[in-house]
Structure 1
Amino acid sequence: MASTDAAGSTGGETAVRRLIDDFLASKEERGSGAYVASASSVLDRFAEWLEARDRTLADLDDERRGPQLMRRYAKHLRRRANAPDGISPTTANTYYAYVSGCLAYGVRDMVLSVNPARTEAAREELPADEGKRSDQQFWTRDQRESLVGHARARAGDAIEADPFGAYPEVRDHALVAVLAFAGVRGAEVLRHRKDDRRGRQGLRWSRVDLDAGTAEVLGKSKTEGKRWQHASLPGPARDALETLRRVQRPPTPEWPVFESSHAPSLWARAREELPEGAVEGAVAERGNIRDVLRAEGIAPPALTTDGGRSVLRRLTDGAGIDLPEDADYLQPHGARRGIGEELYRVDRGLAQDLLRHEELTTTRDHYQHIDAAERTREIDAELERLGE
């Protein structure tokens, strides 16, 4: 939490405005003058919006009030987008991205503990951005290799230090490897808070076949009978999952592959299943809440999609990856776009299969810029031949 002094004001300048000034100065120093020119007025209006509601940096940093406040701000932008002569949905999303980028800088600068703008509850109130490109963010090969390499090294160090206590680091590496190489959506392998369907509560080991190199996931097919799909698990994903299974030692097939490490969630799960007052004694006997769940065969909740994004945010920072101006971390869906694009350049059908698109036209729609560039080269070559 931010301190009272940091949340208040000094000499008439609030902590929020100091954060904005520091963020813009950092961008300016890195040669992002165009970004500063566009973002400064938006961030100034955001500060005014907070001040009109008597809200401070401490409110943004609060675990409950922060996401609620950003949800209200997203609603404010949506109302502006819906008003006659208002801003466009694309502009509304851009404004929100400027604010989110500033708050992400606050996390890195250690004046905020989390970025409340990144929660699903806040972002879902933004207007639909019809003009948003489907390939807005994708992991390049260099980014993918850097992120996976950092996560792998981190997991290896943890296993060497304590094989039985290395689960969080090994889980993070496996998650990154699955996202990076299997082309899955985050909600297909992680728990979605607002979707209680069986296939949106986290991937289970019963649906993973490492020998075949597949995982059964609930996809997005419009055809009911085709929604459960077998996703491919290429070598790097299989290897990371095999290591995870050895470290995790799932006691039942229905154990989540990517289990949550959030202590309050684990305690809540134990209290749902064990007699009243029994959890404390069990923890005292076993040593920690995770071992209690394992001993009792109580499957813990899976890591949420929000939690997965937090993992990627930490690993992106830890790997020191260069990012575009409008990004503060490598997002989960960017992994799917990135591996899809790389395969599409080699084999259209292979990309379609990995992404599990029912029609090749869907895959082509996502990567039409590649087709256009190739056609340009072909046309240039033909024009050159005709001119000979």
Structure 2
Amino acid sequence: MDRNTPTERTPLTSLSESFERYLQDKGKGRGGDGGNYRRNAARELERFAEWAAGDDKNDGWTGIVPADVDRDPTFEDLDERVFREYARHLVGDRGLKQNTVQTYYRYISAWCGWCVNEGYLEAHYAQRASAMAPLPEDDGRKPGDQQAWTSEQRHALTRYVDERARDAIETYTALPEDADPLDRQRARYEALKAARDRALVFVLAYTAVRVGELLRDPNDPRRRGVRWEDLSIDDGSMDVYRKKQQWDAASLPDPVITPLRSYRQLMDPPTERWPVFSTFDQRTLAELVQEELADRGERPEAINERRDEFARDLLLVLNEDVRPPSITTDGARSILQRLSGEADIDIAHPKHDYLVPHGGRRGMGEVLVRAFGYTVAARYLDNSEEMVRERYSHIEAGELGDVATEALEQID
């Protein structure tokens, strides 16, 4: 069935009728047919459907349909008790590790939430406390604590955003002189967005700066996001407001310099007080333009005419020096979620299906500890050596294991 064809959603709709539509919404590529998430979600939805129908014959389990009814499971049969039983099934019947149980349940929970939004269900039963009660707590193992970008993931993401930015900038700069002004503006906007995303990814991937030190926190006015005046690109440093409540210099290693310099040249900010990572949210910028220009004495009709001259409000705020806010930490997560999906990066993590901002910091921590030891890594990460040793204790354990192996080989 075509994904745009309306479907009648009733309590008697079978569960399987919703699966393909859900997977298309979550899939990547043309028609939503690709992507790691779609593949993994499809597998778990199929297992859930078999369990709901009683097809797995597990200890006399007959499914969620009443015994005196002969039909496939429908949405009428779902409530929080069903999801509670499925949580028990994951915990006890398949011999899964604790974090794996959590991951598999999240696939079903995400589908349940989608069903609420689409009108199949009245409530998100899978997220109710009683439904989730049988699920295990995190087992405390290091891989399940926080995501760390692997070298392969870091290279895949940075390569993707670099190619994307190069293509967008080349498209913009290659336009003929007689190109339509609005077409030129649209191309510049796309180049700016791609260049901003590239600079953000490279900074997160290589500086190990905390995302809360880099971007705006709506709940903390001191954290307004780094501005161009905070950067010294030639010196390779950046002033950030650290977690320890004071300003400090962070390093900008070589891989970060070119993306930042290219982005700044393309943006050409009106003043040094502009945020490095400006929001591109259209609603936010539209409200900002209308309020700021009205404060400058312009009438609504004139403001609308002015906006019509620009393909995007971002270009108008640049032209009029209406300083926008920095993106927020939540905004960075949304950007990375989008980019991780577009790049189709393979992510096997119990908590996240995309590369989260803090994973870049932890990934660099892994690199630094392995290359230079805990003392140097602690300085770069702006942490105590004791904390770094605790968070990366798995590295030391592995190294000690190698030492023990070598010792045994020498003695034996």
TM-score after normalising by structure 1: 0.70
Q: Which amino acid aligns with 2:320?
A: E
Q: Do the aligned residues in 2 keep the contact of 1:213 with 1:233 (CA within 8 Å)?
A: yes
Which residue, 373, 378, 381 being the options, matches 1:352?
378
Paired amino acid for 2:253: P
In the alignment, what sits opposite 1:71? Answer: none
1:154 aligns with 2:173: no
Aligned residue number for residue 238 of structure 2: 215
Count of aligned residue pairs for this structure pair: 326
Deviations 1:227-259 (A, max 9, x none): 322221111111110111011111111111111
Q: Distance in 1 between matches of 2:290 and 2:151?
A: 44
CA separation of 1:129/1:233 partners in 2, compared to 1, >3 Å: closer, same or farther?
farther
- Distance in 2 between residues matched to 1:148 and 1:160, nearest whole Å: 18
Report which stretch shifted further, 230-239 or 167-176.
230-239
Moved more, 143-152 or 296-305: 296-305
Aligned residue in 2 for 1:57: none
CA distance in 1, matches of 2:146, 2:387: 16
Contact 2:370 2:395 in 1 (8 A): yes
Question: Is the CA contact 1:90–1:131 (under 8 Å) kept in the aligned structure 2?
Answer: no
Distance 1:288 1:35, change over 3 A: closer
Structure 1 residue ranges without an equivalent (≥5): 54-76, 78-88, 118-127
Q: Distance in 1 between matches of 2:105 and 2:331?
A: 21
Write the mapping of 1:1-388 to structure 2, written as runs, cut at 5 A.
5-6=6-7, 8-9=9-10, 12-13=13-14, 97-98=106-107, 102=111, 131=140, 133=142, 136-163=146-173, 164-165=188-189, 166-193=191-218, 195-199=219-223, 201-221=224-244, 224=245, 227-275=246-294, 277=300, 278-324=302-348, 326=350, 327-348=352-373, 349-357=375-383, 359-387=384-412
- For residue 286 of structure 1, report the CA deviation from its aligned partner: 4.6
Higher mean displacement: 361-370 or 228-237 = 228-237
C-alpha separation in 1, matches of 2:146 and 2:318: 41
What TM-score results when the alignment is normalised by the length of structure 2? 0.66
Aligned to 2:181: none
**Contact 2:45-2:108 at 8 Å conserved across structures:** no
The percentage of counterpart residues that share the same residue type is 33
CA shift in 2, pair 1:132/1:186, >3 Å: farther
**Contact 1:185-1:333 within 8 A present in 2 as well:** yes
Distance 1:157 1:28 in 2: 27
Deviation at 1:384, TM superposition (A): 3.6
Contact preservation (8 Å) 1:104, 1:328: no
Larger radius of gyration, structure 1 or 2?
A: 2
* CA deviations over 1:193-219 (Å, ceiling 9, x no partner): 4x23222x3221111110121111222
Tell me what 2:133 maps to: none
How many Å separate the matches in 1 of 2:161 and 2:331? 16
3-state SS in 2 of match to 1:330: coil
CA separation of 1:231/1:93 partners in 2, compared to 1, >3 Å: closer, same or farther? Answer: farther
| Structure 1 residue 144 displacement after superposition | 0.8
Deviation (angstroms), 1:325? 5.5
**Aligned counterparts of 1:297 and 1:37: Cα–Cα separation in 2:** 54
